[in-house]
Amino acid sequence: MIIEKLRFYERPDMATWPFFLSPIKQIINDDLIFNNQVTFLVGENGSGKSTLIEAIAEVYGLDVRGGHGGRQYASNGPPKGILAEHLKLELTVRGHKAKNRGAQGFFLRSESALGMLEFMSDVGVPGYGNNSFRSISHGEGYIQVLASKFQSGGLLLLDEPEAALSFSSSLALIQELQKAIKNGSQIICATHSPIICAFPGAEILELSDEGIQKKEWSELALVQHWQRFMALPDGYLNDL
């Protein structure tokens, strides 16, 4: 394990976003312990998954727009997110604070991934694949980069990596995740994909109005919704 615990050591104004979200309030009060090399954060839009992943990336020393540690995607980046700036998140990393550990990590943020990956590919940064992003599909580019980055170990933070992936590419991602685990990586991934969070042996944390709950794959609301929709799509569509 690289990150063992996520905690706040300064109490914020609980009436402001995102501190009033139930999952964030739970972490403020009780900490968040990581018990597995692979942790999936699942939940509806607005539950705090991406906000939490981005805060972890910032505190760990990674560029919030994504990419590998020890560099910035651009000189003039966005201001720190509210969790990292005002809450002063502390990550316990093998008994030490996470400051300056970013060189050992990689962050894939779905909102800015395409631009970041195209830039890295165009300028020939090592570790972003041999094929130019402009010569392959979006999904093929994702898999190319992740296959390379997952070989080096370290902390891998993924925010909705399924955004560019087909069904078969999602299965290919699971294969790359398995390789990453063998290389000693720790993976924390926010996802809406029932395929990706079916990763064998992973810990799944569901974020909702009830807080953060550890769930089995079959217990997840997203899995149950997909199962019902695939069995009877008209039942959902007629109710729109």
Residue 145 has pLDDT above 50, yes or no: yes
The count of structural domains within the chain is: 1
Cα distance between residue 195 and residue 48, in whole Å: 21
Residue 85 confidence (pLDDT): 72
CA distances from 33 to 2, 7, 53, 68 (A): 12, 9, 14, 24
Residue 92 confidence (pLDDT): 60
| Percent of the chain scoring above 90 in pLDDT | 44
Cα distance between residue 88 and residue 65, in whole Å: 19
Contact 176, 146 (CB under 8 A): yes
Share the mean pLDDT of the chain.
Answer: 82
Least confident among 2-6, 84-88, 170-174, 214-218 = 84-88
Query: What average pLDDT score do residues 1-15 get?
Result: 85
DSSP label at 78? P
- The pTM (predicted TM-score) of the whole model is 0.86
CATH number at residue 100: 3.40.50.300
Least confident among 88-97, 104-113, 128-137 = 88-97
Cα distance between residue 10 and residue 109, in whole Å: 26
Residue 205 has pLDDT above 90, yes or no: yes
Residue 100 has pLDDT above 50, yes or no: no
Q: Which structural domain range is residue 73 located in?
A: 5-237
Cα distance between residue 221 and residue 199, in whole Å: 17
Cα distance between residue 109 and residue 68, in whole Å: 11
Annotate 137-151 with b (16+ C-beta within 10 A) or e (fewer). eebbbbbbbbbbbbe
